[in-house]
């Protein structure tokens, strides 16, 4: 039955074809041909793209002029000519031919010219030579490195420590190892440059909070919590970190660690503590700001410090729990892709640690001297001391600014030069044009967010100052240079806060 129906339909169609009027057939034929043409023709472009011809390209290449690789530097740029130090940079230092008392290096415990440290380094030099000729992964690990890591871990009472061959690279490699794109980092505004570079390399979201202002930090954390509730799935994979320094390089103040630990547990953020200045300075035994406040070391996820300050060596280390530190052995860029620390510097650091452990009284002496100097500097008109009284590194800031940063810098440079004339070495941190606060995207020379912190003079204290150098500033007060300040004070306008 079906085939018969089909056949019948076919017959009907053929009949219809014969009976149709001619124009109808022609029209249908044309339509079919049109459809076939449309199907096979290329798509129609509205605008013709004109590619450049080879000749035009060559012209463009000829015409293009790049900027010079580096812009010219004026001959009188203050940072161009470094001060040349002849001889060891110890307590008495010869700068540009003049002998000065050293107030500018970070040799807090005076271990730079300690004979025991030198002897240990010499012994290591005689055994291993100078360089290690390899990264840690490929026969660049010496027993000295393992020893130093062990000692540092024991000293700081943590499970494990890892050493880097350069202090700057320590925190700059540690942060990107944990914090990746999409993670959130809460950083203090006065964080040092190495931390800023680490944050930039990590590509995480950076949230700055006001310097040492826990209320501001809590506000940011609360805002983040609200955000998290909107998107819980994302929140479950976004890590949170708080990065602070024990003793801030840029302001000489100590971070309020107990409050930070409270905030950590409340808002579930991990703390990375940078202790470059406070290691070997704060705390009864020199263990840093955790000992200073009496906080359990396990509450801090990562402690990073460099050995270039109190330990008078080169390099840096991170310490913490094995769970945290071991990760850096594969993902710390400065660890995996760089040669290891020369053994003689590691041996010097071990000996310095020995000395620190044997004489815990040295830290009390340092604190006392810091307090003395701090008090002695309070009276100078025109300059104010920025920093805690027990911080060995603090800043002298101009109380009132001339209004222009360049002029401030020049004035400070004059003060520094007068100092060295009187025999006291200091340095002018402002002369390089660096600003202490760069949020992501800032760089030295360009202030961030329109806030220009004042240029200042950092001065550092050494534990081994002799008694007679206790009053170096007296010379300055009594000299006729004081009249510079008196004249300028009247002209200065009120200077804003530092951060």
Partner 1 sequence: MRPEPGGCCCRRTVRANGCVANGEVRNGYVRSSAAAAAAAAAAAGQIHHVTQNGGLYKRPFNEAFEETPMLVAVLTYVGYGVLTLFGYLRDFLRYWRIEKCHHATEREEQKDFVSLYQDFENFYTRNLYMRIRDNWNRPICSVPGARVDIMERQSHDYNWSFKYTGNIIKGVINMGSYNYLGFARNTGSCQEAAAKVLEEYGAGVCSTRQEIGNLDKHEELEELVARFLGVEAAMAYGMGFATNSMNIPALVGKGCLILSDELNHASLVLGARLSGATIRIFKHNNMQSLEKLLKDAIVYGQPRTRRPWKKILILVEGIYSMEGSIVRLPEVIALKKKYKAYLYLDEAHSIGALGPTGRGVVEYFGLDPEDVDVMMGTFTKSFGASGGYIGGKKELIDYLRTHSHSAVYATSLSPPVVEQIITSMKCIMGQDGTSLDATGQEFGQGTVGMTCLCSVVWDWPGRLKYLERLRWLVVGIVWRLLHSHVTWAGVTWSQAQLRLLTRAPSCMYLFRVA
| Sites for partner 1 among residues 54-83 (CB under 8 A) | 57, 60-61, 64-73, 77, 79-80, 82-83
Query: Do 377 and 292 meet the contact criterion of CB atoms below 8 Å apart?
Result: no
For residue 337, the tally of other CB atoms under 10 A from its CB is 12
- What are residue 195's phi and psi, to 5 degrees? -65, -40
Rounded Cα distance, 286 and 361, in Å:
10
Residue of 359, 443, 466, 479 that binds partner 1 (CB under 8 A): 443
121 is a site residue for partner 1 (CB under 8 A): yes
- Smallest gap from residue 374 Cβ to partner 1 (A): 21
104 is a site residue for partner 1 (CB under 8 A): yes
**How many angstroms separate the Cα of 51 from the Cα of each of 56, 57, 304, 364, 388?**
10, 10, 55, 76, 66
Structure tokens belonging to residue 8: 């019948």
Pick the stretch among 7-15, 212-220, 340-348, 447-455 that binds partner 1 (CB under 8 A): 340-348
334 is a site residue for partner 1 (CB under 8 A): yes
Across 221-235, b (16+ Cβ under 10 Å) vs e yields beebeeebeeeeeeb
Residue of 15, 33, 129, 470 that binds partner 1 (CB under 8 A): 129
- Smallest gap from residue 385 Cβ to partner 1 (A): 19
- Smallest gap from residue 12 Cβ to partner 1 (A): 59
Q: In the window 349-408, what residues touch partner 1 (CB under 8 A)? A: none
Q: What is the DSSP letter of 84?
A: P
Rounded Cα distance, 194 and 188, in Å:
13
99 is a site residue for partner 1 (CB under 8 A): no
Q: In the window 287-326, what residues touch partner 1 (CB under 8 A)? A: 298, 306-309, 311-314, 321-324, 326
422 is a site residue for partner 1 (CB under 8 A): no
Structure tokens belonging to residue 300: 């801090």
Query: Do 266 and 296 meet the contact criterion of CB atoms below 8 Å apart?
Result: no
Nearer to partner 1, 128 or 492 (CB): 128
Nearer to partner 1, 220 or 485 (CB): 220
Beta bridge partners of 393: 460
Structure tokens belonging to residue 97: 């031919």
Nearer to partner 1, 162 or 390 (CB): 162
133 is a site residue for partner 1 (CB under 8 A): yes
Rounded Cα distance, 150 and 215, in Å:
38
Checking 487-494 for CB contacts under 8 A at 24+ apart, the result is 488/382, 488/402, 488/411, 489/381, 489/382, 489/399, 489/400, 491/402, 492/398, 492/399, 492/400, 492/401, 492/402, 492/403, 493/400, 493/401, 493/403, 494/400
Q: In the window 226-245, what residues touch partner 1 (CB under 8 A)? A: 235-240
Q: In the window 341-360, what residues touch partner 1 (CB under 8 A)? A: 341-342, 344-345, 348
- Smallest gap from residue 165 Cβ to partner 1 (A): 6
- Smallest gap from residue 454 Cβ to partner 1 (A): 17
- Smallest gap from residue 74 Cβ to partner 1 (A): 9
Pick the stretch among 40-48, 250-258, 365-373, 436-444 that binds partner 1 (CB under 8 A): 436-444
145 is a site residue for partner 1 (CB under 8 A): yes
Pick the stretch among 165-173, 214-222, 359-367, 487-495 that binds partner 1 (CB under 8 A): 165-173
- Smallest gap from residue 240 Cβ to partner 1 (A): 7
The contact mask relative to partner 1 for 177-196 (x = CB under 8 A, - = no) is -x-------------xxx--
- Smallest gap from residue 384 Cβ to partner 1 (A): 21
53 is a site residue for partner 1 (CB under 8 A): no
- Smallest gap from residue 376 Cβ to partner 1 (A): 22
Q: In the window 260-279, what residues touch partner 1 (CB under 8 A)? A: 265, 268-270
Query: Do 431 and 455 meet the contact criterion of CB atoms below 8 Å apart?
Result: yes
Nearer to partner 1, 266 or 487 (CB): 266
For 271, the enclosing helix (H) or strand (E) is: strand 270-274
Nearer to partner 1, 199 or 386 (CB): 199
- What are residue 226's phi and psi, to 5 degrees? -65, -40
Checking 406-413 for CB contacts under 8 A at 24+ apart, the result is 408/454, 408/455, 409/78, 409/433, 409/455, 410/78, 411/484, 411/488, 412/455, 412/456, 412/457, 413/78
- Smallest gap from residue 77 Cβ to partner 1 (A): 5
Residues whose CB falls within 8 Å of the CB of residue 436, separated by 6 or more in sequence, listed in order: 190, 192, 250, 251, 453, 499
- Smallest gap from residue 361 Cβ to partner 1 (A): 22
- In 3D space, the residue among 393, 391, 392, 374 whose CA is nearest the CA of residue 383 turns out to be 374
Which 3 state secondary structure label does DSSP give 339?
Answer: strand
């Amino acid at each position: 039955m079906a085939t018969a129906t089909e056949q019948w339909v076919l017959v009907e169609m053929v009949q219809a074809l014969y009976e149709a009027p001619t124009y109808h057939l022609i029209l249908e034929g044309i339509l079919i041909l049109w459809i076939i043409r449309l199907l096979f023709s290329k798509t129609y472009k509205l605008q013709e793209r004109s590619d450049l011809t080879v000749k035009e390209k060559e012209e463009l290449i000829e015409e293009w002029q790049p900027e010079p690789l580096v812009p010219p530097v004026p001959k009188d740029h203050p940072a161009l000519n470094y001060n040349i130090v002849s001889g060891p940079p110890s307590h008495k230092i010869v700068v540009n031919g003049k002998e000065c008392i050293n107030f500018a290096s970070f040799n807090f415990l005076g271990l730079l010219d300690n004979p025991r440290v030198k002897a240990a380094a010499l012994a290591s030099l005689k055994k291993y030579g100078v360089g290690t000729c390899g990264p840690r992964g490929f026969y660049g690990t010496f027993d000295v490195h393992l020893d130093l890591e062990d000692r540092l871990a024991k000293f700081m009472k943590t499970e494990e420590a890892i050493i880097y061959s350069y202090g700057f690279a320590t925190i700059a490699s540690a942060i990107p190892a944990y914090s990746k794109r999409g993670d959130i980092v809460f950083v203090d505004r006065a964080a040092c440059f190495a931390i800023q570079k680490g944050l930039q390399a990590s590509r995480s979201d950076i949230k700055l909070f006001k310097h040492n202002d826990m209320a501001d930090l809590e506000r940011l954390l609360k805002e983040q919590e609200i955000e998290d509730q909107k998107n819980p799935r994302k929140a479950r994979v976004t890590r949170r970190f708080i990065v602070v320094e024990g003793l801030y390089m840029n302001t000489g103040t100590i971070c309020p660690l107990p409050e930070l630990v409270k905030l950590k547990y409340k808002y579930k953020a991990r703390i990375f503590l940078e202790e470059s200045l406070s290691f070997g300075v704060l705390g009864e035994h020199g263990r840093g700001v955790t000992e200073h406040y009496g906080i359990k070391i396990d509450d801090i996820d990562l402690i990073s410090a460099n050995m270039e300050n109190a330990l008078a060596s080169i390099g840096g280390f991170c310490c913490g729990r094995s769970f945290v530190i071991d990760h850096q052995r594969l993902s710390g860029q400065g660890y995996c892709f760089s040669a290891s620390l020369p053994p003689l510097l590691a041996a010097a650091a071990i000996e310095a640690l020995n000395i620190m452990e044997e004489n815990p009284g040295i830290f009390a002496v340092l604190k006392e001297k810091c307090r003395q100097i701090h008090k002695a500097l309070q009276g100078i008109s025109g300059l104010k001391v920025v920093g805690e009284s027990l911080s060995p590194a603090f800043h002298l800031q101009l109380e009132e600014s001339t209004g222009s940063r360049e002029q401030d810098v020049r004035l400070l440079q004059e003060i520094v030069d007068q100092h060295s004339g009187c025999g006291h070495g200091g340095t002018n941190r402002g002369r390089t044009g660096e600003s202490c606060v760069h949020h992501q995207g800032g760089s030295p020379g360009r202030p961030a967010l329109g806030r220009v912190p004042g240029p200042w003079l950092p001065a550092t204290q050494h534990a081994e100052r002799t008694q007679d150098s206790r009053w170096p500033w007296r010379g300055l007060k009594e000299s006729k240079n004081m009249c510079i300040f008196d004249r300028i004070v009247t002209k200065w306008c009120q200077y804003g806060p530092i951060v």
